[in-house]
Amino acid sequence: MGIFNYPVTDKQDFSSLLTEIDRILATVISSLVNLQELTSETIIATRQQLESARVLLSPLLLPAPTPEVARWSLGMEVQPEGVKVVFFRESQGLIDFYPLSWSLATGTSDLLPCSQVEEYLISWLSNRDFSTDSWLWEALDRLEAIIITDDGEIPTDDLKKALLTAQLIPPDRLSSLETALATALAHIPTSDQPQPQTLLVIEGKRETTTLAIVEVPPQTRSLSRQAIAMSHFNYGENTYEQAILSHLIYPLWRSFLPLSPSDLTDTNPLKKSLLAAARLTKLILQEESEFTSSLAGHTWTVSRTDLNKKVIIPYLDNLRQKINDLLEKQKKSLEDIDRIIFSGNFFLTIWPYFLTEIQQEFAGCNLEAPSQETFSPAILGLGRLCLFSALRGEKVNNA
């Protein structure tokens, strides 16, 4: 049995505890004062008495550390087809993902319809079955921030209005982040590194291509917006399909089409059919080197070689010039870039046969292919934003 005759379980019973402390100290002092009684056995016993007292007194003198409370945030990746919604739980630098699905008339989807966002979101929150998602109680109760991707291509005013109407968080905790920056955060280590590294993110969307140069410091979590420069130009997936129509399909059909390229406006009903043919051409040439089709007795052939020469290479020339312009403004060269990260639906749709030209254009560079994982880099980056607090609320250096 130890020196105490009973365990101290009631931390508020200080009177009995002090009495016991007095007895222990009296024994220790007596052993030290009466040197004639001091032996190796008494020294060992005294040391054990003091150690036992220290162990039992520590919980009283040093309060137990408060368990870390997990932080929750909500990320929304805005896409042309809808909004992807994911809750993030961060604890001790580790992030868990909780994606939401929406039951639509056609089944279950991970996208919330943009056109119905306000009505749908408020209705969903008021009718949610929390018994099936018990974590959602904690998430909504401890929600610290909502971050949405906002590049200016897709209107987000309705989404922001719906979030504020639902009163999930105060208005000052609703923020937005450019998709290219979110993508960069998905690739930046959260542990310190021996030296800085420079990333170039190329984000291909429906209407634009966005460039972001990110200079990551050795203390990676101290990354600030002063270390980020951005630029963009108006060429995306829609432009690419329009180029296929203008440079590959129309020249083959113009002999029997009663219109000129300038007539292919958005109001022309024929344009939708021609763009559908352009999308089909894009998909087929991902698998075949060429294909032949017939329309109204007219046979026409499109090849991947023509696609590369008339569509892809001109785009790459444009892309390289825009990159050079941004590098020049930042007083950098391509050799200063440690990694080039391609991301976005535009590159996902053309990457299989785009890679060869990209490798030639950026020979010697460390290229990162667009991700096809369930969680896009942008969503991963939104979840990791809480680890880079210096990025919140600052202005980007738009070159």
Q: What is the pLDDT of residues 271-305, one digit of tens each?
A: 777 888 888 888 888 888 888 887 667 778 899 89
pLDDT of residue 356: 80
Per-residue confidence band for 109, with pLDDT thresholds at 50, 70 and 90: confident
| Contacts for 234 with CB less than 8 Å, ≥ 6 apart | 207, 208
Q: Which tokens sit at 131?
A: 């018994």
Task: Judge whether 290 and 302 are in contact, CB under 8 Å.
Answer: yes
Which residues does 9 contact at the CB level (< 8 Å), separation at least 6? none
What is the pLDDT, as a whole number, of residue 68?
Answer: 66
Q: Which residues contact 326 (CB under 8 A, 6 or more apart)?
A: 211, 213, 229, 231, 399
Phi-psi region of 82 (alpha: psi -120 to 50; beta: other; left: phi over 0): left
Q: For residue 259, give the 3-state DSSP assignment.
A: coil
Interatomic CA distance for residues 289 and 298, integer angstroms? 21
**How many distinct helices (H) and strands (E) make up the chain?**
13, 16
Per the prediction, the chain carries an average pLDDT of 80
Mean pLDDT of 83-101: 87
Nearest-5° angle of CA 325, CA 327, CA 329?
A: 70
More confident residue, 306 or 65: 306
Q: Return the higher-pLDDT residue of 267 and 382.
A: 382
- The residue with tokens 């930046």 is 188
Residue 202's pLDDT band (boundaries 50, 70, 90)?
Answer: very high
Stretch 209-220: mean pLDDT: 94
pLDDT reported for residue 104: 66
Q: Is the pLDDT of residue 324 over 90?
A: yes
Written as six digits, the tokens of 359 are 């490798």
Contacts of 117 by beta carbon, 8 Å cutoff, 6+ apart: 83, 158, 159, 162
| Structure confidence by residue, pLDDT tens digits, 339-373 | 999 999 899 888 877 778 788 888 888 888 898 88
Find, among 367, 369, 359, the residue nearest to 338 by Cα: 367
What are the respective helix, strand and coil percentages of the chain, to the nearest 5?
A: 50, 20, 30
Q: Which residues make Cβ contacts (< 8 Å) with residue 2, sequence separation at least 6?
A: 52
DSSP, collapsed to helix, strand or coil, labels residue 153 as coil
pLDDT at 397: 41
Ranges assigned E (strand) in 128-269: 143-149, 174-177, 197-204, 209-216, 228-233
pLDDT at 9 exceeding the cut of 60: no
- 3 state SS of 376: coil
- Tell me what pLDDT residue 14 has: 55
Percentage of the residues of the chain whose pLDDT score is greater than 70: 73
Higher pLDDT, 230 or 294: 230
Please tell me the predicted confidence (pLDDT) of residue 10. Answer: 43
Residue-level pLDDT at 6: 34
Q: Pairing mode, if any, of strands 290-295 and 298-303?
A: antiparallel
121 contacts 40 by C-beta, under 8 angstroms: no
Cα-based angle 203, 204, 206 (whole degrees, multiple of 5): 135
- What is the predicted pLDDT for the residue at 329? 92
**d(C-alpha 59, C-alpha 75), whole Å:** 40
Q: How confident is residue 72, by pLDDT bands cut at 50, 70 and 90? A: very high
Give the lowest-confidence range in 27-36, 68-77, 107-116, 334-343: 27-36
Alpha helices in 111-246 (DSSP H): 117-127, 135-141, 157-165, 179-187, 237-244
Element (H, E) at 74: strand 71-79
161 has a pLDDT exceeding 80: yes
Task: Give the global pTM.
Answer: 0.76
Band of residue 64 on the pLDDT scale cut at 50, 70, 90: low
